[in-house]
Chains A and B, each alone.
Chain A
Amino acid sequence: MKNLSKIIFIVFSFSLLFFLLPQKSYSEEKIFDADRAFQDYLYNTNLYRQSHSEYIIARESYLKYQTLTSKNTALEKTRLMLKNQDEVTRTYLTALRLKLAEVSGITNYGQNVLYLRLDDEIPWFQKHQQSLNSAGTIEDLVSLSEDGRNQYQKTEILAYQTLGAILTSKQNVLYEEITQKIKDLKEKIGEIRTKGDKNTSLAERWLLEAENRLTRSQEKQFSAQQLLAQMKTNDFNKNESYNKAQFTIEESHQYLKEANSYLKEVVRELKNAD
């Protein structure tokens, strides 16, 4: 009977290992990509929101009662909230950096410049987070939060410019593809014109329209980049400036759509007899 229970125990242990080990190794295989970094950022945002609510309550309590206990609670809650704030910024910049690494329509130079700027920015918030530990009074924390606010004004510009670069790089990929299609169709039209078995003038006109739309798209993209480059740290509403740039990129995208629809017309025209 003892043997039987031993056998059962061994079978049970092996089945445990069999079902649990592969799952563990699967979770270990997960790589730290943009999605993972974004989840990390969201998690820290939730922590920050929670600590911010606690800070508000602790601050109100201190301002109302002015006791030593409420002062100490306010000190600790403020410290925790500011630490979480730094962590949110750090994880956000990491997610943005990884997102930038995933896009392809950006020049190596442009990508590297943004990498360098992001890599300079992330350690600042790490250092700031550490300095919060040495703050002994509420006044120290207020002073450190002012430093954070000044730095974050620069961070916001970098974030918007990186976002703009991500969006324009998507546009660049599409622009390149349409340019290639125009080239292919030009060659085909040239071939047909040489053979002389079909009138190509209408198809050529559509192709010209497509090229015009492509040029307009580039112009819009250029103005969006200018809007992003002109952003300043003392701009009151950076979000508004970014929204303008983003809208301009959408206009540029609309021109690409039109260019592509004209290419469809070129093909239709070439497939139809005169």
Chain B
Amino acid sequence: MLTENNPDQNFENFPEIKEAKAIREKMAKKPLIIFVSIFAFVLVAFLSLAIFMSFNQKNLTLTTKNQPTPTSTMELKEEITSPSPYATDAALLKTEEEIKNLDKKLQETDLKESKLNPPVLDWDIKFEKN
């Protein structure tokens, strides 16, 4: 209550309430918090993207890697009913394996290389009406 008994009372320099001060400080911090959280979000997003891309690259290399062609389980196995003394001969078995590999190589060899055929180019430049 305002009375003449209280002359020191100054309404312009009214002491600030503690709660108001806290709110004001909080408001001042807000842009910084927003800035920091955006920055953190960008960083996390970038890191996740980078990790995702590196995984993708690994997957890519895995898919392009030359994988051995699965051999058919239905493949007819050669059966030796009465083996000779050379049926288990190490040198002969080695040659047999090499011949099998050679057979695979013979089947896989590209003897066309059609992608390397000379390009078809138009050298017939004419500026005459037909």
**Footprint of B on A, CB under 8 Å?**
1, 4-5, 8-9, 11-12, 15-16, 19, 38, 41, 45, 48, 52, 59, 62-63, 74, 78, 82, 85, 88-89, 92, 95-96, 99, 138, 141-142, 145-146, 148-149, 152, 155-156, 159-160, 163, 166-167, 170-171, 174, 177-178, 181, 184-185, 188, 192, 197-198, 239, 246, 249-250, 253, 256-257, 260-261, 263-264, 267-268, 270-274
A260/B106 in contact, CB under 8 A: yes
Q: Which residue on B lies nearest to A147, using beta carbons? A: B123
Which interface class (under 10, 10 to 19, 20 to 34, 35 or more) fits B? 35 or more
Given the interface contacts A11-B43, A138-B127, does A181 sit within 8 Å of B95 by beta carbon?
yes
Interface of A is mostly: helix
Contact B102 A178, beta carbon cutoff 8 Å? yes
A38-B92 contact, Cβ under 8 Å, with A198-B84, A264-B99: no
A163-B117, A263-B99, A272-B80 known; A170 vs B92 contact (CB < 8 Å): no
Q: Which B residues are CB-close (under 8 A) to A45?
A: 119
Chain B proximity of A184: nearest CB distance (Å): 5
A253 touching B106, Cβ below 8 Å: yes
Binding site for A on B (CB under 8 A): 29, 32, 35-36, 39-40, 42-43, 46-47, 50, 54, 78, 80-87, 89, 91-92, 95-96, 98-100, 102-103, 105-107, 109-113, 115-119, 121-127, 129
Known: A85-B121, A89-B121, A267-B92. A8 touches B43 (CB 8 A): yes
A257:B106 contact, CB within 8 angstroms: yes
Considering the chains assembled together, what is the distance between the CA atoms of A264 and B104 in angstroms?
13
**Are B127 and A260 neighbours in the complex by a CB distance under 8 Å?**
no
Which of B87, B115, B125 has the most chain A CB atoms inside 10 A of its CB? B125
Select B99's contact among A149, A171, A260, beta carbons within 8 Å.
A260
Please report the C-alpha to C-alpha distance between residue A177 and residue B101 in the assembled complex, in whole angstroms. 11
CA gap between A184 and B29 in the complex, in Å: 86
Q: Is the CB of B106 within 8 A of A268?
A: no
In the docked arrangement, what's the CA distance between A274 and B125, Å? 74
Q: Are A181 and B98 in contact (CB under 8 A)?
A: yes
Task: Give the docked Cα–Cα distance between A155 and B123 (Å).
Answer: 13
With CB as the reference atom, state the residue of chain B lying closest to A160.
Answer: B118
19 of the cross-chain contacts (CB-CB < 8 Å) are A8-B36, A8-B39, A12-B46, A59-B127, A78-B125, A88-B121, A92-B118, A99-B116, A145-B125, A159-B118, A174-B102, A174-B109, A198-B84, A246-B111, A260-B103, A271-B96, A272-B82, A272-B84, A274-B84
Contact A142 B126 (CB under 8 A): yes
Collect the chain A residues with CB atoms within 8 Å of residue B36's CB: 4-5, 8
Known contacts A163-B117, A271-B84: does B125 contact A12 (CB below 8 Å)?
no
Residues of B near A85 (CB, < 8 A) are 121-123
